[in-house]
Structure formats: structure tokens, C-alpha cells
Structure 1
Amino acid sequence: MKESISFFSGFNIHDFWFLGEAALRTLWISAVSITIGTVLGGLFGWMLYEGRLAATLLLGPVLDVFRSVPLIIQLVLFYNFAPIVGLDFDPFASGVVILTAYTASLVANVARGGIEAVGKPMRRAARSLGLSYWQDMRYVVLPIGGRAVFPAWVGVALGVMKDSALVSVLGYVELLKASQILITRTQEPFLILSLAGAFYFALSFPISRYAAKLEKRWAQ
């Protein structure tokens, strides 16, 4: 992100565009992490539902760690530990890795709940009609279970988008980091934080409204 900002000057239109660009960076890192994390979380949730020994003994505890340890600690530890093992990750890549793992750990329980929401009698009926296991998962479990847990997934996605602000501790200039830079220069924290909050609202509100519209359509 290129910028030519002199220190200790008032807020101007260039600062507004600076925040807007930072908001796009927030949206980008969130979209990448949520997309990949949702796919992995769905896979992990299926593994947990099937109750395989490896999933129960290995995957479950690992997901619990990512759910339980504060996200900021995960970010700092990974960013500082990665170079030790030869991984040259910049702040964006490190943020994506941890946010993806965090998202997957949350979505795994959501996905497992969605599979469990489809009653066994319905699944047995599908199999009795000649559907294979994977056809049952695709045409019965995914549509019904997906609708049941969709609100929970939306909550996870919005939460991860807000939690992406913690990537600022790694030096990634997203919305919160940009706000801190401008506050230091302009000494106008109320104005800057209000604008940052407005940008977060602008990113989150369309998602929540579209999700509510989908839920209403499915309920008809």
C-alpha cells in the first residue's frame, strides 16, 4: 500500500481513501480465509461425524486447540515460529494460514451439527431408494443440513471478518492497522475509529442481510 502522509496533520480525503483501501484488504484476507476454512471445516466435520479413530484421537484435540487458544497468540506464535522451520511467510500469508485454521476449527462443529440434523430414518429412506452414500450426502444431507446450520455459519464468517483485525499485530495494514496509523498522525481517535466502524459495518451488513433473505426464502 503506497502512501505519502506527513505527520501531525489534519484528516483529509486521502486518509479516507487510505481507510477504504485498508477495508478492501480486510475483505480480501477474510474472504480467502473463510472460503478455504469452510471447505476444510466441512471435511473435518464429516470426519468427526463418521467417528473414525484417527479423527477422534488426533483431529479433535487439534481443532480444540485452535478454538481455545486466543487468536492473537496463534498469530504471533506462528509468525515468529515459521522462519525457524524455514517458512518464509509475510504477514498476509501468516494471517491467512491462522485465520483459515481458526475458521476450519469453528466450521467443523457446525458441519458436524448439520449432518446430525438430518435424521437417520430419512437417510435410510434415501439409501432404500437406491442412492449411494455419496449421493445421499449430496442430495439429502447437504441441502437439509446446510439450511439448518446456515445461520451458525454466517455467525462464524462475520466473527472471523471482525477477528481479522488482529492480523494488524503482524504489520499487515488492514482496517485496524490503518486506523492506528491515522490516529497517531491526526490525533483524532473518535473520528478515525468512527469511520473504521462504519467500514466494518459496510462490509458486514450486506452479508447479514443477504443471509437473512436466503433464510426467509428457504422457509417458504
Structure 2
Amino acid sequence: MQFSFANQGLAWSDAYFLTEGVLNTVRLAVAATLIGTLGGIVLGWLRTVSLTMRIATAPFIDILRSVPMLIQLILANSLLSILGFGSSPFWFGTVALGAWMSAVTAEVVRAGLLSVPSQYRKSARSLGMNGYQELLYISIPLAFRTALAPWIGLVLSLIKDSALAGVVGYVEYMRSTQILITRTHETWLLLMGAGLFYFVICYPVSRYSRHLERKVRV
């Protein structure tokens, strides 16, 4: 079914516009998750190394965890523009979301590593393992079991927060939906479609995470 543009209705061609928004959302979420997770793993490990590293990294983590994502996106856009980085809205969004993801992932990683009983680490060292071998073969596998569920929760939050990237000009799915709502006034239909989209993306991730949790605990 197609509505005429004279009545500002939806048209089949709008499906292509929404599809582009879907792909933009997926690209942004994947890029920010990869960057943020890798950065968070390094930061989380550093925060367990010494008190000095914990104090040095605390401002970065505390600020990003406390400031709303919307403000972070606007500030990242302004700061990078002032510094002369003529990046696309995609990279503005990726930097802001990736930085937030690294901060919150760091705390999950830190908690996971600290949850490993000290007796396990001492036993590994007594068997002749050095610090990196103990970390690789003992602490990381055990910490992974503890950190998996919280990390999945962070990924789901990031997917939903990617909708805020529209404030820096990135046309992700929610932004494309808002554009069509302004033009067609089909508010209920488009918002229900947006809600369904995020459900279809997030629910399988949540279900699969439960499968992984059961698998790693066997």
C-alpha cells in the first residue's frame, strides 16, 4: 500500500531510507562496541595492577560513567570540531559511544579479575607460572564467567543509546524515523516500528548471552 506525497503519507521508497538507518545503527553499534570493549579490557586490567594506575584512570572512568550520553555526544562533537578534526558524524558518534563503553567495560573487567580467588593465583605461581601466564590461563577464563552477563547488558545499553547519535547529525534508525514522522505524521506506526526494530536486535543478543552463560559455567 502506498500513500501519496500530497497527503504526506508513507511510501514504499521510505523503506529504503529506513533500511539505511538500520545499517547505520548496526555499523555504529558494532564499531563502538569493538573499540570500547578492547579499550575497556586494557583499562580494567591496568586498574588491577597498582593503586597508582587505579588513581590515574579514575577521572576518565568516573566522568564518563556519570555524565549523560547526550552531553558526551555534544561535547565530543564540539571538541573534535574545535581541534580541527573534520570527521563524519559516524566517527563523532563512535568516539563518544566507544569512550563510554570503554569506561563501563573497564569496571566490569576489573570486578571480574578481582573476583578470582587469590588462592588460585597463588597456586598458579607456585606451579611455576609467571604473571602473564597466570593472567592468561587462570584469571582471564575465570573472570570471563563473571563479566559476561554484565558486559552483555552494556552492549544492549549501547545499542539503544546509539539512537542519541542523531544529535551530531548521524542518521541512524531512530533519526530516520523522526525525519519520517515530521514529514508524514505517522507517529504511532513509525514509533511501533522503531520499538520492534530495537526489540528484534536486542532480544536475540540477550537470549544468546544466556546460552553462553550456561555454556561457560559447565
Contact 2:112 2:147 in 1 (8 A): yes
Q: CA deviation at 1:8?
A: 5.1
Contact 1:34 1:100 in 2 (8 A): yes
Q: CA deviation at 1:52?
A: 4.1
1:77 aligns with 2:75: yes
Gaps of at least 5 residues in structure 1 are none
Q: Tell me what 1:18 maps to.
A: 17
Residue pairs, 1:13-162, within 5 angstroms: 13-53=12-52, 55-162=53-160
Q: TM-score, normalised to structure 2's length? A: 0.93
Distance 1:37 1:60 in 2: 16
Contact 1:20 1:199 in 2 (8 A): no
Q: TM-score, normalised to structure 1's length? A: 0.93
Q: Of 200, 203, 216, which residue of structure 2 is paired with 1:202?
A: 200
Change (3 A) 1:8 1:173: farther
Aligned to 1:13, the other structure's residue is in SS state coil
Q: Tell me what 1:175 maps to.
A: 173
Contact 1:45 1:112 in 2 (8 A): yes
Counterpart amino acid of 1:108?
Answer: A
Residues 7-52 of structure 1: per-residue CA shift (max 9 Å, x gap): 7521233223322221121111011101110111011111111124
1:215 aligns with 2:213: yes
Contact 2:116 2:139 in 1 (8 A): yes
Distance 2:164 2:7 in 1: 26
Contact 2:40 2:102 in 1 (8 A): yes
Q: Give the root-mean-square deviation of aligned CA atoms.
A: 1.6
Residues 161-201 of structure 1: per-residue CA shift (max 9 Å, x gap): 10011100111000110010110111011000110111111
> How many residue pairs were aligned?
215
Q: CA deviation at 1:58?
A: 2.5
Change (3 A) 1:138 1:7: farther
Gaps of at least 5 residues in structure 2 are none
Contact 1:79 1:89 in 2 (8 A): no
Paired-residue identity, %: 37
Distance 2:202 2:6 in 1: 31
Q: CA deviation at 1:69?
A: 0.8
Aligned to 2:13, the other structure's residue is in SS state helix
Contact 2:89 2:170 in 1 (8 A): yes
